[in-house]
């Protein structure tokens, strides 16, 4: 029962992260961009740390799934997120050809972000079904990678023509999809024993893909040596934060 309570608390906190845009309203664009890079660095470390320090070892040590099965599920997670992102880019490219593409792109962002939040909620739910420490670590990793994404989504929605207040509200509604994902996994987990153990390695593959394919390329846009060193240090801090959470297990 405690796992379910922690799960709902986790997705509630993740949903509140969608309101982070309110703190960016008074920030200059150059300052906001600088801090986004720092948040991205922290998210990379947290995602990779959670995947390789918590999720994957737990999947291997469970003894329920074979080594080959876990490995295939991790690869499947990477490919799944790759396919989903490809699908989004194809549709986004189609919208760009429309003369009045600003508002449709805003709606596309809401749809894709809602789907992403649905997956995040499912990942958090599956993690808490395995254990509370794994769930806590995964929730923290999700929060850290949600912060830069939500700031970016907020900026896109405002650019698409929404007022700042409406953009915040729509972003929050989209974030509530994580609650749906959590409930689906909790119900599915009750019906099929050990279902979470199959979903967790897929989630790890998704975390790896997000960190390596989406976030790390963003850091390569920074050529300044000092900023690059700071980014590396923050990535390590993210990894160490996941390592520190092992003490909860």
Q: How far apart are the C-alpha atoms of 245 and 133, rounded to whole Å?
A: 7
The rounded average pLDDT for each run of 10 residues, N- to C-terminus, in the chain (249 residues) is 83 82 60 72 86 86 84 92 75 50 57 76 85 86 74 67 78 87 80 66 86 86 88 91 75
Task: Evaluate whether 236 touches 45 at the Cβ level (below 8 Å).
Answer: yes
Q: How many CB atoms lie within 10 A of CB 37?
A: 18
Q: What is the pLDDT of residue 22?
A: 65
Q: What is the pLDDT of residue 34?
A: 65
Q: What is the pLDDT of residue 68?
A: 92
Q: What is the pLDDT of residue 236?
A: 93
C-alpha torsion 78→81→82→86, nearest 10? 170
Nearest to 146 by CA among 12, 53, 8, 5: 12
Q: What is the pLDDT of residue 73?
A: 94
**Lookup: tokens for 71:** 């490995």
Q: How far apart are the C-alpha atoms of 237 and 14, rounded to whole Å?
A: 21
Phi/psi at 91 (5° precision): -70, -40
Q: How far apart are the C-alpha atoms of 50 and 245, rounded to whole Å?
A: 9
Q: What is the pLDDT of residue 112?
A: 62
Q: What is the pLDDT of residue 100?
A: 45
Task: Evaluate whether 104 touches 95 at the Cβ level (below 8 Å).
Answer: yes
Q: How far apart are the C-alpha atoms of 216 and 200, rounded to whole Å?
A: 23
Nearest to 149 by CA among 165, 127, 171, 134: 171
Give the three-class secondary structure for 37: helix
Q: What is the pTM of this model?
A: 0.70
Q: How far apart are the C-alpha atoms of 245 and 45, rounded to whole Å?
A: 13
Q: Is the dihedral of CA 157, 84, 194, 60 positive or negative?
A: negative
């Amino acid at each position: 029962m405690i796992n379910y309570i922690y799960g709902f608390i986790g997705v509630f906190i993740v949903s509140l992260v969608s309101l982070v845009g309110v703190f960016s309203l008074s920030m200059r664009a150059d300052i906001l961009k600088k801090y986004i890079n720092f948040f991205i660095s922290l998210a990379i470390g947290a995602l990779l740390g959670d995947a390789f320090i918590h999720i994957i070892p737990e999947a291997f040590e469970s003894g329920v799934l074979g080594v080959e099965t876990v490995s295939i599920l991790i690869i499947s997670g990477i490919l799944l997120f790759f396919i989903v992102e490809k699908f989004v880019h194809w549709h986004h490219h189609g919208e760009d050809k429309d003369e009045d593409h600003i508002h449709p792109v805003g709606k596309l962002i809401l749809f894709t972000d809602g789907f992403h939040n649905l997956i995040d909620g499912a990942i958090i739910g599956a993690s808490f079904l395995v254990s509370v420490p794994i769930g806590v670590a995964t929730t923290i990793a999700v929060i850290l990678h949600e912060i830069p994404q939500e700031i970016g989504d907020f900026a896109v929605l405002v650019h698409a023509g929404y007022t700042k207040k409406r953009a915040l509200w729509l972003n929050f509604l989209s974030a509530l999809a994580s609650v749906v994902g959590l409930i689906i996994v909790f119900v599915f987990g009750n019906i099929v024993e050990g279902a979470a153990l199959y979903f967790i390695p897929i989630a790890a593959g998704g975390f790896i893909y997000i960190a390596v394919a989406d976030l790390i390329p963003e850091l390569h846009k920074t050529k300044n040596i000092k900023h690059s060193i700071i980014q590396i240090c923050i990535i390590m801090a993210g990894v160490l934060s996941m390592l520190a959470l092992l003490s909860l297990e």
